[in-house]
Chain A
Amino acid sequence: RKEVEQDPGPFNVPEGATVAFNCTYSNSASQSFFWYRQDCRKEPKLLMSVYSSGNEDGRFTAQLNRASQYISLLIRDSKLSDSATYLCVVKNGGFKTIFGAGTRLFVKA
């Protein structure tokens, strides 16, 4: 079983739609959680950290469910520019950062 698992997609949604991604992790001792965004042929960039209380940044909302060991990312009012691969990232303490394989999102006009 992979330490961090994501649905690879692709998710194809129209502009304006709401879309949600989940990511599960296997290590219950995991400490920190993040979503990174990676555009085609580009490097990953931090989108947002995920806090226990949940957090929101504009159209993006991230939540953590420790009991069920998953994190989620909700994108409201999708834009064409949101088309990218979204990487779920889990940190288990120290320098060990584990990346999921990513979920591809296509937003179409």
Chain B
Amino acid sequence: DVKVTQSSRYLVKRTGEKVFLECVQDMDHENMFWYRQDPGLGLRLIYFSYDVKMKEKGDIPEGYSVSREKKERFSLILESASTNQTSMYLCASSSTTEGEKLFFGSGTQLSVL
């Protein structure tokens, strides 16, 4: 089974801090995604990457950046955390050749105080 691992399940940070969320997948998937999930809004795409060192903005990239230096790892960076970035962050991966199924990590609940 595909495993997508997110580094932290819960994270508490202060306003203005730089925050790194790490995601690793073990199935050699080309595509990786970062979503945030908020009540009533569903999952919203922040950034995605379809190859090493490639990145594309999703629907809500403001205040975030990403890094993909290795195929298996996709990092989400909050340059200066704000309270409106308190959310559940979900990483996902998919294979271009194996259809469109998304495999999600278990999520990181980030609270910015």
Contact = CB atoms under 8 A, between A and B. Distances in A.
A43 B100 contact: no
13 contacts: A8-B40, A32-B100, A34-B100, A42-B106, A46-B101, A87-B42, A96-B45, A97-B100, A97-B102, A99-B35, A99-B43, A101-B40, A102-B42
Contacts of B44: 99
Q: Closest 6 interchain pairs by CB? A: A43-B104, A101-B42, A99-B43, A99-B42, A46-B101, A43-B106
B98 to A, nearest CB: 12
B90 interface: yes
A interface secondary structure, majority: strand
Contact of B104 (A8, A34, A45, A100): A45
B25 interface: no
Interface residues of B, number: 20
Contact of A44 (B43, B45, B100): B43
Given A43-B90, A95-B50, A101 B104 contact: no
A97 B31 CA distance: 13
B74 interface: no
B17 interface: no
Interface of B: 31, 33, 35, 40-45, 48, 50, 56, 90, 100-102, 104-107
B68 to A, nearest CB: 14
Give the contact-size bracket for chain A. Answer: 20 to 34
Contacts of A49: 100
Contacts of A43: 90, 104-107
Contacts of B107: 43
A91 interface: yes
Contacts of B45: 96-97
Contacts of A8: 40
A21 to B, nearest CB: 14
